[in-house]
Amino acid sequence: MPPERRAAVARGSPLSSNGAGPLLAVDGLAVDYALPRGLVNAVARRPREAVLAVDGVSFTVERGELLALVGESGCGKTTTAQSVLRLIEASAGTIEFAGRDITKLGSRELRLLRRRMQIIYQDPYESLDPRFTVERAVEEPLVIHGLGGSRSERAALVRDAVARVELTPPELFLDRYPHELSGGQRQRVAIAAALVLEPELLVADEPVSMLDVSVRAGVLNLLDGLRASSLGILMITHDLSTAARYADRIAVMYLGRIVEIGRAAEIIQNPQHPYTRALLSVVPRRDPRDRAKPQILKGEAPDATRIPSGCRFHPRCPVAIAECPTHDPALRQPREARTAEHQAACILA
């Protein structure tokens, strides 16, 4: 997109970015969900029990950086992303976007903020309206936010966004409906509809897990390239191979906490938390000779309604020691860290 057009879209934002500091700084984020209490407890007026889905999560995303949040279902990675976008409310902690705490913003300011942080979902079959052409789907966010000026200016912005996601030439795609597109093309349209607003942060929630293998790489490479325009990306994924290849940094989550965080290469090659090590050992490799001995963790997937005492990983940990059931380890730099920002929450690290 030509710079003057981008400026036209970016105009009129009351939330001035100061440029310095991280794009996104999440500090001590906690999110709880009230559990349904059932009829008996409701009649007895017993208080609702709450589940801490996210419990003290801190991380930053720089401009032009891709941070991957990885972990199993129920670890709180999607909840974390949704609270960053304020789609759900945090119960504690701060979320600073471009230097400003956004956890207390009112609805009007929130609307202006939403333009600057966009999300793409796992399933492009569900996130696109089947009755909208590509052109309408990509134009809609501009209309909703009252951006893009005249009709012809909007059309030009839409065309640019469609070209940016490599649906070229755009003319070939603008009049098509979702059912006329492949899964990869649909996800590209969803990305175009996010990019047309010129966001500064893009949250990508499992962006390729529903797509065919043959097209996944194309969508990931596209996201990878967007960082060059200083877009910050928070990618939620359960796939460590994707995180290994595309993320600048990786944060591994377990039961609502970040248990290890650092540069992607450091986490993959020099993991210090036993959970990260186990996760890495079970990632299938494409080279059959590379059949690693998987370190399969016993027991059920983590359950936020029953958080273990001490280190919450200790019941499944293969190397737990006597202190682990009582000692709740904080994130700190492990002894064998090779980079300064590497942190792990394990008494043995």
Partner 1 sequence: MSTLLQTDELNVWFDLPRGGTLHAVQGVSVALEPGERLGLVGESGCGKTTTGLALMGLLPSSATAAGRIELNGLDILAGGEETMRAHRWVDIAMVFQGAMNAFNPVKTVGSQIVEALELHGSSSGRAARAQTGELLGAVGIPPDRAERYPHEFSGGMRQRAAIAMALACKPSVLVADEPTTALDVMVQAQILALLDGLCRDFGLALLLVTHDLPVVAQLCDRAAVMYAGEIVEEGPVEELYHDPRHPYTRLLFAATTDLNAEALPVSIPGAPPRLDRPIAGCPFRARCDRAFARCEHDRPLLRAVGSRRVAACHLNDVPLSLEAVR
Binding-site ranges for partner 1 (CB under 8 A): 72-73, 182-184, 212-218, 220-221, 224, 238-242, 244-245, 268, 278-280, 282-291, 294, 296-297, 300-301
Tell me the CA distances in angstroms from 128 to 186, 193, 222, one per residue in order. 8, 10, 19
**Considering the complex, what minimum distance in angstroms separates the CB of residue 318 from partner 1?**
13
**Considering the complex, what minimum distance in angstroms separates the CB of residue 82 from partner 1?**
19
Q: What residue has token string 């936020």? A: 304
Phi, psi of 251 (to 5 degrees): -115, 125
Amino acid at 123: D
Burial tier of 208 (Cβ tally within 10 Å: 0-12, 13-18, 19+): buried
Q: What residue has token string 């293969």? A: 318
CB of 151 or CB of 289, closer to partner 1: 289
C-alpha to C-alpha distance for 106 and 91, rounded to whole angstroms: 16
CB of 150 or CB of 214, closer to partner 1: 214
**Considering the complex, what minimum distance in angstroms separates the CB of residue 58 from partner 1?**
24
CB of 158 or CB of 278, closer to partner 1: 278
CB of 47 or CB of 288, closer to partner 1: 288
C-alpha to C-alpha distance for 131 and 114, rounded to whole angstroms: 24
Q: Compute the Cα dihedral for 83, 86, 90, 95 and give only its sign.
A: positive
**Considering the complex, what minimum distance in angstroms separates the CB of residue 315 from partner 1?**
14
CB of 45 or CB of 289, closer to partner 1: 289
CB of 27 or CB of 248, closer to partner 1: 248
C-alpha to C-alpha distance for 138 and 115, rounded to whole angstroms: 14
Here the tokens at position 56 are 């003290």
- Please check whether residue 260 is in contact with residue 345, taking contact to mean a CB–CB distance below 8 angstroms: yes
**Considering the complex, what minimum distance in angstroms separates the CB of residue 77 from partner 1?**
11
**Considering the complex, what minimum distance in angstroms separates the CB of residue 86 from partner 1?**
27
- Please check whether residue 282 is in contact with residue 296, taking contact to mean a CB–CB distance below 8 angstroms: yes
**Considering the complex, what minimum distance in angstroms separates the CB of residue 221 from partner 1?**
6
Q: How many CB atoms sit inside 10 A of residue 31's CB?
A: 23
CB of 5 or CB of 277, closer to partner 1: 277
Q: How many CB atoms sit inside 10 A of residue 147's CB?
A: 20
CB of 4 or CB of 287, closer to partner 1: 287
**Considering the complex, what minimum distance in angstroms separates the CB of residue 168 from partner 1?**
12
- Please check whether residue 53 is in contact with residue 152, taking contact to mean a CB–CB distance below 8 angstroms: no
3-state secondary structure of 254: strand
Question: CA 77: distance to chain centroid?
Answer: 7
CB of 102 or CB of 252, closer to partner 1: 252
C-alpha to C-alpha distance for 89 and 53, rounded to whole angstroms: 12
**Considering the complex, what minimum distance in angstroms separates the CB of residue 107 from partner 1?**
36
